[in-house]
């Protein structure tokens, strides 16, 4: 549907085959793009979190992209570390000589808890991954995007939590709100170069991280994960959880020439559920 032939994309947080990042990477490849896939491939801390993929999962996503006929490069990188982000961009330059699309998908929910009981480590780590990591990727991707004088696309994967925060999720919501603000500010800075910057705010998407969250909720409330999922779906007007492919569809559009006059926007992708 969208022609991305010859474009080079970088998708962070793409190592989990069932996740949003992998779905976006594969969809961009289906549209003809060459795709660099990145992930940390290691637990971010000993605090409770949804888990991270291993190197074999990341290379598996790259292999799937290659099977579609595109070139792919898997890169292990901790996006909270400036030197690793710079090394990742250098690898993109060496392998492809250009970058056209950056998808900041890497994110985490670390140690969700009431503010009264949340650890400083959980707060800092969540903001480092979700906000600082995206900032560093933008900062060090921009020279590549600007070099070709072809314009470009930056797509930030935020969350509906940024505008509809829920209890126990203050760090996550705050980090995604910061990502929304980064999106709008950066769009104004780079628009004159033909680079668009937009954010997608997924709601309840059926990923491994969401399954982990529903298991925690079931444990706290004395329900089963299945009953938590059913109740959640009942509150969504479309009566189902979203799929990673739903997010990938919007990302592919925003990456395409059809979206060339759209920038600085934040798109809710919730199946109609806008409330907490």
Pick the catalytic residue from 2, 172, 253, 267: 172
The DSSP secondary structure of 184-237, one letter per residue, reads: HHHHHHHGGGTEEEEEEEE-SB-SHHHHHHHHHHHHHHT--HHHHHHHHHHTST
Task: Measure the CA–CA gap between 114 and 100, rounded to whole angstroms.
Answer: 40
Task: Measure the CA–CA gap between 66 and 30, rounded to whole angstroms.
Answer: 10
Cα dihedral: 87, 131, 126, 78 (round 10)? -10
If DSSP codes are grouped into helix, strand and coil, which group holds residue 11? strand
Task: Measure the CA–CA gap between 175 and 221, rounded to whole angstroms.
Answer: 26
| Known catalytic residue at 172 | yes
Run of H or E including 72: strand 72-76
Cβ neighbours of residue 234 under 8 Å, at least 6 residues apart? Answer: none
Task: Specify the pairing of strand 34-39 against strand 72-76.
Answer: parallel
Query: Annotated catalytic sites, by residue?
Result: 172
């Amino acid at each position: 549907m969208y022609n991305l032939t010859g474009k080079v994309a970088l998708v962070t947080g793409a190592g989990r085959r069932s996740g949003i990042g992998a779905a976006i990477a594969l969809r961009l490849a289906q549209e003809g793009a060459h795709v660099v896939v990145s992930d940390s491939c290691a637990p971010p801390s000993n605090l409770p979190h949804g888990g991270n993929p291993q190197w074999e999962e990341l290379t598996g996503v790259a292999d799937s992209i290659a099977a579609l006929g595109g070139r792919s490069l898997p890169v292990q990188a901790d996006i909270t570390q400036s030197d690793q982000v710079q090394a990742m961009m250098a690898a993109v330059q060496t392998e492809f000589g250009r970058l056209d699309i950056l998808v900041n998908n890497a994110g985490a929910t670390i140690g969700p808890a009431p503010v009264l009981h949340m650890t400083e480590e959980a707060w800092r780590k969540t903001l480092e991954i979700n906000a600082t990591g995206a900032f560093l990727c933008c900062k060090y991707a921009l020279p590549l995007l600007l070099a070709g004088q072809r314009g470009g696309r930056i797509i930030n994967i935020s969350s509906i939590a940024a505008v509809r925060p829920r209890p126990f999720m203050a760090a996550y919501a705050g980090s995604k709100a910061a990502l929304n603000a980064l999106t709008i500010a950066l769009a104004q800075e780079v628009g004159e170069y033909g680079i668009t910057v937009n954010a997608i705010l997924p709601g309840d998407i059926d990923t491994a991280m969401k399954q982990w969250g529903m298991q925690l909720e079931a444990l706290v409330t004395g329900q089963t994960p299945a009953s938590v999922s059913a109740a959640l779906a009942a509150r969504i007007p479309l009566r189902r959880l979203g799929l990673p492919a739903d997010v990938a569809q919007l990302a592919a559009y925003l990456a395409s020439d059809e979206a060339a006059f759209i920038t600085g926007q934040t798109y809710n992708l919730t199946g109609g559920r806008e409330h907490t």
